[in-house]
Amino acid sequence: MPLLTQRPLRLLALTWLLGVSSSAMAVDLRLAVAANFTDTARELIAAFADTTGLEASASYGSTGKLYAQIRNGAPFDVFLAADSRRPELLEQQGMGLSGSRFTYARGTLVLWSPEPGTLAAPEAWLAAGDFKRLAMANPKTAPYGLAAQQVLAHLGLWQPLQPKLVRGESIAQAFQFVATSNAQAGFVALAQVIAWPGPEGALWRIPREYYSPVNQQAILLSHGRENDAAHQWLTFLHSPRAQRIIEQYGYDTSD
């Protein structure tokens, strides 16, 4: 299946290979951002600064690990998760402001290989198992990893492929396994492939009915309750400019 014929240029596309990162500069607000949203968030942060004059920094990682950091007192103002469960838990636990939680993006899971023609018949390719390694994120900490597990379970391949699965701590690490040829293919986010500056390779957009919706939710955290910049960031995410950026990376923003 051919990849997108036109892909937006991303000055910071290689951030997919970095895993968890953060900025130590003086900023107006601090974000905890799911790894799949790395490139998108960087572009949004630049647009936010251009629109408001406010500076944001972000730390990127798996949703599960960021959630644990927040529970342990990490001083983030806003959490942009890759699921709805962790933001809901934070709201229930009193660590997120009630009523501030909303879905800012809906993600798309794909199977990707940098080798053209690999996925001409993706389900048959997976079933044949004629590969050494297949990458995915850890289902326990990364929502896209859970989605990948659901896909393999739907195909009846979760148990048969166990010896060939390599799990990244985040979706960023899963993508790295494939991009560096340590895995022949991997379950990754469409946004990662759009941002990738390397060979287009082969792509399978997995049918939506194969996995639960990846509803990515944001929430204002207790640390950011009195931070006007954090409130402005959440308002900005609803703006047409922000939604255009999010959609350019392959996410859905419709209600």
pLDDT greater than 90 at residue 24: no
Report residue 255's pLDDT band, with 50, 70 and 90 as the boundaries. low
Q: What is the 3-state secondary structure (H, E, C) of the chain?
A: CCCCCCCCCCCCHHHHHCCCCCCCCCCCEEEEEEHHHHHHHHHHHHHHHHHHCCCEEEEEECHHHHHHHHHCCCCCCEEECCCCHHHHHHHHCCCECCCCCEEEEEECEEEEECCCCCCCCHHHHHHHCCCCCEEEECCCCCHHHHHHHHHHHHCCCCCCCHHHEEEECCHHHHHHHHHCCCCCEEEEEHHHHHHCCCCCCEEEECCHHHCCCEEEEEEEEHHHCCCHHHHHHHHHHCCHHHHHHHHHCCCECCC
Q: What is the mean pLDDT of the segment spanning 95-108?
A: 97
Distance CA 161, CA 92 (A): 37
Above 60 in pLDDT, residue 20?
Answer: no
Closest CA to 108 of 237, 241, 16, 216: 216
* Distance (Å, whole) CA 204 – CA 71: 36
Residue 12, pLDDT > 60, answer no
**pTM for the model:** 0.85
pLDDT at 13 over 60: no
Per-residue pLDDT band for 254 (boundaries 50, 70, 90) equals confident
- Top-confidence residue, 111 or 2: 111
Instruction: Band the pLDDT of 25: cuts 50, 70, 90.
Output: low
> Binning pLDDT at 50, 70 and 90, where does residue 190 land?
very high
* pLDDT surpassing 60 at residue 195: yes
Mean pLDDT confidence for 130-143: 96
| Paired tokens of 246 | 């999010």
The mean of the pLDDT values for the chain is: 91
Q: Dihedral, CA atoms, 10, 70, 224, 100, nearest 10 degrees?
A: 80
Q: Which has more confidence, 202 or 255?
A: 202
- Banded model confidence at residue 147, pLDDT cuts 50, 70, 90: very high
- Backbone region of residue 89 per phi and psi (left: phi > 0; alpha: psi in -120 to 50; beta: other values): alpha
- Write the pLDDT tens digit of every residue in 45-80: 999 999 999 999 999 999 999 999 999 999 999 999
Q: Are the CB atoms for 90 and 81 separated by under 8 Å?
A: no
C-alpha distance from residue 253 to each of 3, 132, 158, 228 (Å): 21, 36, 30, 24
Q: What's residue 14's pLDDT?
A: 37
The answer to whether the CB of 173 falls within 8 A of the CB of 18 is no
Six token digits for residue 14: 């290689």
How much is the average pLDDT of 104-132? 96
pLDDT cut 70: percent of the chain above it: 90
pLDDT > 50? residue 21: no
Tokens of 11: 């000055």
Q: Residue 186: name the closest of 136, 129, 125, 119 by CA.
A: 136
Percent of the chain with pLDDT over 90: 87
Model pLDDT for residues 174-187, shown as the tens digit of each residue: 999 999 999 999 99
Query: pLDDT category, 31, cuts 50, 70, 90?
Result: very high
pLDDT over 50 at 251, yes or no: yes
Sign of CA dihedral 69, 14, 161, 125: positive
More confident: 255 or 140: 140
